[in-house]
Amino acid sequence: MAIEISEVSRNTKLLIDGVPYAVEDVNFVKPGKGRAIYRVKMRSMFDGTGKEITYHSGDRVDEVRITAHDMQYLYEEGSHFVFMDTESYEQHHVDKKVLGGKAQFLKDGMVVSAVMMGPRVIGIDLPKFVELKVVESGVSTRTDTVTAQMKAVKLETGATVNVPTFVKEGDTLKIDTRTGTYVERVTRK
Protein backbone atom coordinates (compact mmCIF):
# COMPACT_ATOMS: atom_id res chain seq x y z
CA MET A 1 0.00 0.00 0.00
CA ALA A 2 1.55 3.31 -1.06
CA ILE A 3 1.48 6.22 1.40
CA GLU A 4 2.81 9.77 1.19
CA ILE A 5 6.18 10.37 2.89
CA SER A 6 4.58 12.92 5.25
CA GLU A 7 2.54 10.06 6.81
CA VAL A 8 5.67 8.08 7.76
CA SER A 9 6.60 8.08 11.44
CA ARG A 10 8.71 6.06 13.86
CA ASN A 11 7.91 2.29 13.79
CA THR A 12 6.25 2.50 10.35
CA LYS A 13 7.26 -0.52 8.25
CA LEU A 14 8.35 0.28 4.67
CA LEU A 15 9.06 -2.07 1.78
CA ILE A 16 12.16 -1.00 -0.19
CA ASP A 17 13.45 -3.21 -3.01
CA GLY A 18 11.51 -6.17 -1.58
CA VAL A 19 13.05 -5.81 1.90
CA PRO A 20 10.96 -4.69 4.91
CA TYR A 21 12.47 -1.84 6.96
CA ALA A 22 11.37 -0.49 10.35
CA VAL A 23 11.59 3.32 10.52
CA GLU A 24 13.69 4.48 13.48
CA ASP A 25 13.64 8.25 12.92
CA VAL A 26 12.22 10.83 10.52
CA ASN A 27 13.78 14.31 10.24
CA PHE A 28 11.82 17.03 8.46
CA VAL A 29 13.78 19.91 6.90
CA LYS A 30 12.16 22.89 5.17
CA PRO A 31 14.75 24.78 3.13
CA GLY A 32 14.17 28.40 2.13
CA LYS A 33 13.47 27.43 -1.48
CA GLY A 34 12.08 24.25 -2.96
CA ARG A 35 10.23 21.28 -1.55
CA ALA A 36 10.55 20.00 2.02
CA ILE A 37 13.02 17.17 2.67
CA TYR A 38 12.43 14.07 4.81
CA ARG A 39 15.50 12.14 6.01
CA VAL A 40 14.37 8.66 7.05
CA LYS A 41 16.59 6.39 9.17
CA MET A 42 15.53 2.75 9.07
CA ARG A 43 16.72 -0.75 9.89
CA SER A 44 16.24 -3.91 7.82
CA MET A 45 13.94 -6.45 9.44
CA PHE A 46 15.86 -9.26 7.73
CA ASP A 47 19.45 -8.63 8.79
CA GLY A 48 19.38 -5.52 11.01
CA THR A 49 21.48 -3.33 8.71
CA GLY A 50 20.81 0.41 8.91
CA LYS A 51 19.98 2.69 6.02
CA GLU A 52 19.21 6.40 5.59
CA ILE A 53 17.22 7.67 2.60
CA THR A 54 16.25 11.24 1.70
CA TYR A 55 12.77 11.89 0.25
CA HIS A 56 11.04 15.07 -0.93
CA SER A 57 7.53 16.12 0.06
CA GLY A 58 4.97 14.50 -2.21
CA ASP A 59 7.04 11.31 -2.68
CA ARG A 60 5.20 8.04 -2.08
CA VAL A 61 6.57 4.94 -0.36
CA ASP A 62 5.27 1.39 0.07
CA GLU A 63 4.07 0.54 3.57
CA VAL A 64 4.11 -3.13 4.50
CA ARG A 65 1.80 -4.77 7.00
CA ILE A 66 3.60 -6.82 9.61
CA THR A 67 1.60 -9.17 11.82
CA ALA A 68 2.49 -11.30 14.83
CA HIS A 69 1.21 -14.83 15.40
CA ASP A 70 1.77 -17.22 18.29
CA MET A 71 3.56 -20.29 17.02
CA GLN A 72 4.79 -23.45 18.68
CA TYR A 73 8.27 -24.79 17.93
CA LEU A 74 8.01 -28.39 16.71
CA TYR A 75 11.38 -29.63 15.43
CA GLU A 76 14.53 -28.94 13.43
CA GLU A 77 14.69 -30.14 9.82
CA GLY A 78 17.95 -29.61 7.94
CA SER A 79 18.61 -25.88 7.65
CA HIS A 80 15.11 -24.98 8.90
CA PHE A 81 13.09 -24.91 12.10
CA VAL A 82 9.45 -25.98 11.87
CA PHE A 83 6.81 -23.94 13.71
CA MET A 84 3.04 -24.46 13.92
CA ASP A 85 0.55 -21.58 14.06
CA THR A 86 -1.43 -22.13 17.29
CA GLU A 87 -4.67 -20.89 15.69
CA SER A 88 -4.69 -22.33 12.16
CA TYR A 89 -2.34 -25.31 12.86
CA GLU A 90 -0.48 -24.40 9.65
CA GLN A 91 3.21 -25.34 9.67
CA HIS A 92 5.93 -22.86 8.68
CA HIS A 93 9.52 -23.72 7.79
CA VAL A 94 11.81 -20.94 9.04
CA ASP A 95 15.42 -20.66 7.89
CA LYS A 96 17.96 -20.91 10.73
CA LYS A 97 19.45 -17.55 9.66
CA VAL A 98 16.18 -15.81 10.64
CA LEU A 99 16.63 -16.85 14.28
CA GLY A 100 20.38 -16.26 14.49
CA GLY A 101 21.62 -16.55 18.10
CA LYS A 102 18.10 -16.95 19.47
CA ALA A 103 18.05 -20.56 18.27
CA GLN A 104 20.28 -21.64 21.17
CA PHE A 105 17.40 -21.03 23.61
CA LEU A 106 14.67 -22.73 21.52
CA LYS A 107 13.08 -25.64 23.39
CA ASP A 108 10.68 -28.30 22.03
CA GLY A 109 7.06 -27.20 22.40
CA MET A 110 7.97 -23.58 23.22
CA VAL A 111 5.41 -20.97 22.11
CA VAL A 112 7.01 -17.93 20.43
CA SER A 113 5.73 -14.81 18.69
CA ALA A 114 6.40 -15.03 14.95
CA VAL A 115 6.70 -11.75 13.02
CA MET A 116 5.16 -12.25 9.58
CA MET A 117 5.08 -10.31 6.33
CA GLY A 118 2.20 -11.86 4.45
CA PRO A 119 2.69 -15.65 4.60
CA ARG A 120 6.46 -15.38 5.29
CA VAL A 121 8.01 -15.53 8.78
CA ILE A 122 10.65 -12.78 8.95
CA GLY A 123 11.46 -12.93 12.66
CA ILE A 124 10.89 -14.77 15.92
CA ASP A 125 10.50 -13.20 19.35
CA LEU A 126 11.27 -15.61 22.20
CA PRO A 127 9.79 -15.27 25.67
CA LYS A 128 11.96 -12.94 27.81
CA PHE A 129 12.89 -15.79 30.14
CA VAL A 130 13.20 -19.54 29.62
CA GLU A 131 13.88 -22.36 32.06
CA LEU A 132 16.54 -24.79 30.87
CA LYS A 133 18.23 -27.76 32.51
CA VAL A 134 22.02 -27.97 32.98
CA VAL A 135 23.34 -31.08 31.19
CA GLU A 136 27.07 -30.47 31.57
CA SER A 137 28.89 -28.58 34.28
CA GLY A 138 32.59 -27.91 34.49
CA VAL A 139 34.51 -28.21 37.73
CA SER A 140 35.20 -24.90 39.41
CA THR A 141 38.35 -24.15 41.36
CA ARG A 142 37.20 -22.58 44.56
CA THR A 143 39.48 -19.94 45.98
CA ASP A 144 38.94 -17.11 48.42
CA THR A 145 38.28 -14.01 46.33
CA VAL A 146 36.39 -10.77 46.70
CA THR A 147 34.57 -11.11 43.33
CA ALA A 148 31.98 -13.78 42.54
CA GLN A 149 33.32 -16.90 40.85
CA MET A 150 31.67 -17.99 37.60
CA LYS A 151 31.89 -21.14 35.49
CA ALA A 152 30.54 -22.18 32.10
CA VAL A 153 27.76 -24.79 31.87
CA LYS A 154 26.05 -26.42 28.91
CA LEU A 155 22.24 -26.33 28.79
CA GLU A 156 19.82 -28.87 27.31
CA THR A 157 19.49 -26.81 24.09
CA GLY A 158 23.27 -26.74 23.55
CA ALA A 159 23.71 -23.14 24.75
CA THR A 160 26.65 -22.32 27.03
CA VAL A 161 26.22 -19.70 29.76
CA ASN A 162 28.29 -18.46 32.70
CA VAL A 163 26.78 -19.24 36.10
CA PRO A 164 27.83 -19.06 39.76
CA THR A 165 29.92 -21.97 41.04
CA PHE A 166 27.10 -23.47 43.16
CA VAL A 167 25.14 -24.52 40.04
CA LYS A 168 25.39 -28.25 39.39
CA GLU A 169 24.48 -30.68 36.62
CA GLY A 170 20.73 -31.38 36.64
CA ASP A 171 19.74 -27.95 38.03
CA THR A 172 17.09 -25.95 36.16
CA LEU A 173 18.07 -22.34 35.47
CA LYS A 174 16.15 -19.24 34.45
CA ILE A 175 17.89 -17.62 31.46
CA ASP A 176 17.27 -14.15 29.97
CA THR A 177 16.92 -14.76 26.21
CA ARG A 178 17.56 -11.09 25.33
CA THR A 179 21.07 -11.12 26.81
CA GLY A 180 21.79 -14.85 27.05
CA THR A 181 22.65 -14.57 30.74
CA TYR A 182 21.88 -16.52 33.89
CA VAL A 183 19.14 -15.02 36.11
CA GLU A 184 18.55 -17.56 38.88
CA ARG A 185 18.45 -21.24 39.78
CA VAL A 186 14.85 -22.47 39.70
CA THR A 187 15.24 -26.04 40.99
CA ARG A 188 18.01 -28.22 42.28
CA LYS A 189 18.84 -31.73 41.20
Instruction: Report CA 90 to chain centroid distance, whole Å.
Output: 22
144 has pLDDT over 60:
no
* Domains of the chain from N-terminus onward: 2-62 (2.30.30.30), 66-125 (2.40.50.140), 129-187 (2.40.50.140)
70 has pLDDT over 90:
yes
User: Phi and psi of 47, rounded to 5°?
Assistant: -125, 0
Interval 76-95 mean pLDDT: 92
pLDDT, tens digit (0-9, with 9 covering 90-100), for 33-53? 888 899 999 988 877 788 999
| pLDDT greater at residue 1 or residue 151 | 151
DSSP state of 180: T
User: Could you tell me which of 99, 167, 101, 165 has the C-alpha nearest to residue 132?
Assistant: 167
pTM over 0.85: no
> Of 100-104, 121-125, 139-143, 181-185, which range is least confident?
139-143
Quote the pLDDT of residue 146: 62
Work out the mean pLDDT of the chain and round it to a whole number. Answer: 87
Show Cβ contacts of residue 113 under 8 Å, excluding neighbours closer than 6 positions: 68, 69, 70, 71, 124, 125
Helix ranges restricted to H, 4-160: 96-99
